[in-house]
Amino acid sequence: MVGVYSAVVLWMVTGLVAPAFADAPNCPWQWLVGTWQIQEDYGFKSRVVWKKLAVGQGATDIWEDDEGSKFTELMSWDANKKQIVSTGFGTNNGYWIIRFTEVTGSKLAGTMTYRTPQGTTSEGEYVLKICTQ
């Protein structure tokens, strides 16, 4: 069964900001390289460590949430569709895929399919915003 949700995520960021994509002038999002502290509007917290890809155009990271689940994410700019695509895989077959169709310098918004490590699958709107730098 697939649930429906809407979430707003506030990214508490620390570290250096740098363009992660080769066509950065066409992608307004500036990626943080380093450690991010994430807090979702319903209280869920995570720690994320971002790295630019050594080869290719995008970024990878490791998520660890306050419940002990871990995810590896690959995120990149789809220049043809003018959107950011994110795919993450983690603990107990948890996963997500997000297509961010609204991309600005301080906000990403789009649709997400997410399967929790407990096996619950949800689909809906997902928004990321930088709240402090």
Tell me the mean pLDDT in the region 31-36: 67
pLDDT tens digits, 92-116: 899 999 999 988 777 788 999 999 8
**Structural domain for 61, as ranges:** 2-132
Return the higher-pLDDT residue of 121 and 15: 121
Whether the pLDDT of residue 14 is over 50: the answer is no
Whether the pLDDT of residue 50 is over 70: the answer is yes
Contact 92, 76 (CB under 8 A): no
Upper half-sphere CA count for residue 112 (Cβ side, 13 Å): 23
Burial 69-95 (b: 16+ CB within 10 A, else e): bebebebbbeeeeebbbbebebbeebe
Contact 37, 131 (CB under 8 A): no
Question: How many domains is the chain built from?
Answer: 1
Q: How high is the pLDDT of residue 47?
A: 79
Whether the pLDDT of residue 88 is over 60: the answer is yes
